Amino acid sequence: MAHEHKLEIFRGLVKFKSNITKIWGIFFFLSVITIIEVAFGIIKPAFLVDNSFLAMKWINWLFIILTLVKAYYITWDFMHMRDEKKAMRRAVVWTAIFLICYLVLILLIEGDYIFEVYKDGFVKFDF
């Protein structure tokens, strides 16, 4: 269990020699992703900001997907989820993901609805 580590990441594309080199490899990978995020956040390329996909700007898709990638590697390699049993992994990860998706979906739809009410309602709101 804890003493054997799976040393392959990217579905076996990269295999590290030891757990320590894997840790540094993951650190490098996370740093690159963070640098990409910050660079996009500062430059804000117009074609990503002005176009949207499924009601969300492309740049926000990019940020959220990169964040999830980071979260995956922190959980899988720093928290050693990769080395746990499948049942353990699913008990923790699927529970959280299901509940969080549900909560976010409900609250964002509700927030958007209230925005519409403020915008189109008869009560003057901007004074």
Partner 1 sequence: MEATVVETGTEGKAWGGGNQPLRASYGKMMMWFFIVSDALTFSGFLASYGFSRFKFVDAWPIADEVFTHFPFLHGVDAPMYYVAFMTFILIFSSVTMVLAVDAGHKMQQKKVILYMFLTIIGGAIFVGSQAWEWKTFIKGDFGAVETKGGKILQFLDADGERVALRDFAIELPKTREIHEESNGLWFQKDGTQTTYNFEEVKAGFMADKSVLIRTQLKDEHGHHIVLSREASEAKLLNDGKLVVEGANLKHNEYGTPLFADFFFFITGFHGFHVFSGVLINCIIFFNVVIGTYERRGSYEMVEKVGLYWHFVDLVWVFVFTFFYLV
Which lies closer to partner 1 via its Cβ, residue 17 or residue 119?
119
Instruction: Answer for the pair 69, 33: CB distance below 8 angstroms, yes or no.
Output: yes
Closest approach of Cβ 10 to partner 1, in Å?
19
HSE-up (13 A, CA, CB side) for residue 53: 7
How far CA 68 is from CA of 30, 97, 124, in Å, comes to: 11, 11, 40
Closest approach of Cβ 106 to partner 1, in Å?
8
Which lies closer to partner 1 via its Cβ, residue 6 or residue 80?
80
What does the DSSP assignment read for 97-114? Answer: HHHHHHHHHHHHHHHHHH
Q: Catalog residues that contact partner 1 under the rule CB under 8 A.
A: 1-3, 19-20, 23-24, 27, 30-31, 34, 37-38, 41-42, 49-50, 60, 63-64, 67, 70-71, 74-75, 77-80, 84-85, 87-88, 91-92, 95-96, 99-100, 103-104, 107-108, 110-112, 114-115, 118-119, 125-127
Which lies closer to partner 1 via its Cβ, residue 14 or residue 108?
108
Instruction: Answer for the pair 7, 13: CB distance below 8 angstroms, yes or no.
Output: no
